[in-house]
Structure formats: structure tokens, C-alpha cells
Amino acid sequence: MKLHILGCYAATPRTLTNPTSQVLEVKNHMFLIDCGEGTQVQLRKHKIKFSRINHIFISHLHGDHFFGLSGLVSTFRLLGREKELHIYGPKGIKEAITLLLKLGDSWTNYQLYFHELTNKGPEVIFEDDKITVETIRLNHRIYTNGFLFKEKLGERKLNVEAVAKHKVDKAYFQNIKNGRDVVLDNGMVIPNADLSFDPPTPKSYAYCSDTAYKPDIVEQITNATALYHESTFLESEVHLAVRTKHSTAKEAAAIAKAANVGQLILGHYSTRYKSIDLFKEEALEVFPNVELADDGKFFDF
């Protein structure tokens, strides 16, 4: 999985910091997650092909997570897009975007599908043969979902030397990849384990922004390869975190530790702090593998 951070700061866009948006590349998909103001500029700046984005996931309807969406939808039209575009987000997102298109008499010339979410618990909202996307119910001032992107278990890998040694015909290869044993013409059975290797462990990415400290998400995201968890504040401002339903770096790390994730990526920083390194220092006291998201940063996991 490859993760491009386009923006990871809370509240308003500033000269050097952008509101939330990121692109996850997985199994030939390019998923756009949240779309704060300026997202299309960031896409251009980081040379990410607009045309490969077919699915957009919006966590909640605070401006710093979706004010870039109407502009992007409109730009797709100007670029002559023909492929359909799917937008997943809270109920109301369709009304918000279509009103702007209607007032400007600028309907898209491609199919635009809204998948409005009202679920109270986790729900699978996208699935194909290689991946699923589930919502993670978060606790914020308005209705908010995180998203869990999960690879499916792939086919077994053919043991090329073993199939050659046993002179197994090519016609059996797909069955071997599907986990079946092979019966030779003389009746001898070769167990599947002798002819193939286990598939790679499926990866997963959990995106959790914005939310108050919410330990009941741990079960759903346990063993995720990577967790992006918001850390708007440090513990010194925990009272603000509680009041605004955000998390501190320490709380994000506690979630990462309880869920035993591979790595924690912090983001959604308040711009009140002098350095984002403070967030990493605080989280490292609780959990060992902490990375800082930053605009333009790229993660491969």
C-alpha cells in the first residue's frame, strides 16, 4: 500500500499547511480520502493522476475535510472526464454538492454516484475481488466515519521447482493456486502444501479522523498494517480535545498500542504548536513505531 499525504493539518488552509486529504494506492485503485480545500492543487503539485481517482471517501462534513470536493468534481468535468465517479460520505453530501452544480448550471458530463452513509456501526461500503472498505464509526461533534481498507487473502503461490519435479501439467496450476491437491495419472496424491506457498499476509490501513478518544474501535482495527489517527492536540490541551471531540497524541498512541498495529501515523495537528515533533515525542512514550504525517509525505507499507 502506498499513502500520499496531501494535507494533514486541522482547521484552515495556511501558507505552508493544508487541510486533510490523502491518496491511498492499493491493488490498482487510487482512493481519495477526504478532500479539504486545495486538494486539487496538492494533487497537481505531487503529480498524482486525477484520472485514476474513481472513489472518494469523505469522513464528515466539516469544511476542512470536504470543501475541496465541489472544485474537484467540477475540474473533472473541465478535463473531459468520462468515467464514473463514486463519492461515499455522510447523508447531506449529495445535496451540498449538487446544489453548487445546479446553481452554476454546470452538471457533470460523467456519471456521479453518491453513496450516502447513515450507518451506526461498521459497514462494508466497497468491495471487489481484491479489497474491501469498511466504515469505522468515530465520535466527533457531527456524524463521522473512519475507513478501514483491507486486502483480501490472495491466491497461493506456485512452487515452480516442486511442480517441475513432480511433472505436474500446467492445466492443474490454477487449482493448485486455489489450494487443491493434485492427483497424478497413477493415482498418487501430491498435497497442495508440497506444490505451493502461503499467500502474503493481507495488508490493511485504518484511517481515523476526526474523533475523540474511542477505545471501542480497537477490536475492528486490531493488527492493521498502518493506522492514521488524528492527534489535534497534545496532552497539555486535553481539555480542548475533550471539548471539541478530538484526540491527543498520547490517546492516538494508546489506540495504536491496544490495537497492536504495525505503525502509527499521526496527523490533523492544530497549528498552535511550534513543531509537530512534539506530537511524535508524546506518542513515543506509549507506542514505539510512530511516524508523523506531513503535507507531501509518502508512506509505503
Pick 88 or 287: Cβ nearer Zn ion: 88
Pick 30 or 89: Cβ nearer Zn ion: 89
* Rounded least distance, CB 35 to Zn ion, Å: 13
Question: What is the C-alpha to C-alpha distance for residues 262 and 9, in angstroms, rounded to an integer?
Answer: 23
By the rule CB under 5 A, 210 interacts with Zn ion:
yes
How many CA atoms lie within 13 Å of 193's alpha carbon, on the beta-carbon side?
0
The residue at minimum Cβ distance from Zn ion is 62
* Rounded least distance, CB 227 to Zn ion, Å: 18
By the rule CB under 5 A, 62 interacts with Zn ion:
yes
**Cα distance between the two ends of the chain:** 5
The one catalytic residue in 64, 169, 194, 295 is 64
How many residues form the binding site for Zn ion (CB under 5 A)? 2
Pick 11 or 101: Cβ nearer Zn ion: 11
The total of other beta-carbon atoms located within 10 Å of residue 266's CB is 26
Q: In what order do the strands lie in the sheet with 124-127?
A: 124-127, 131-137, 145-151, 204-208, 226-230, 263-267, 290-292
* Rounded least distance, CB 140 to Zn ion, Å: 6
> Which of the stretches 62-70, 150-158, 191-199, 261-269 binds Zn ion when contact is defined by CB under 5 A?
62-70
> Which of the stretches 19-27, 56-64, 233-241, 252-260 binds Zn ion when contact is defined by CB under 5 A?
56-64
The residue written with cell numbers 463519492 in the block is 87
How many CA atoms lie within 13 Å of 251's alpha carbon, on the beta-carbon side?
28
Whether the CB-CB separation of 218 and 166 falls below 8 Å is answered with no
Active site residue 64: yes
> Which of the stretches 87-95, 128-136, 204-212, 217-225 binds Zn ion when contact is defined by CB under 5 A?
204-212
> Which of the stretches 48-56, 57-65, 251-259, 269-277 binds Zn ion when contact is defined by CB under 5 A?
57-65
By the rule CB under 5 A, 214 interacts with Zn ion:
no
At what angle are helices 69-78 and 93-103 packed, to 10 degrees?
50
By the rule CB under 5 A, 229 interacts with Zn ion:
no
Residue type, 253: A
Pick 210 or 282: Cβ nearer Zn ion: 210
Pick 9 or 172: Cβ nearer Zn ion: 9
Pick 62 or 150: Cβ nearer Zn ion: 62
Whether the CB-CB separation of 206 and 148 falls below 8 Å is answered with yes
The angle subtended at Cα 298 by Cα 54 and Cα 264, nearest 5°, is: 100
Query: Given the DSSP bridges, would you call strands 145-151 and 226-230 parallel, antiparallel or unpaired?
Result: unpaired
By the rule CB under 5 A, 156 interacts with Zn ion:
no
* Rounded least distance, CB 141 to Zn ion, Å: 7
Q: Which of residues 20-39 bind Zn ion (CB under 5 A)?
A: none
Question: What is the C-alpha to C-alpha distance for residues 51 and 120, in angstroms, rounded to an integer?
Answer: 32
**Contact positions toward Zn ion, by CB under 5 A?**
62, 210
Which residues are catalytic, by number? 64
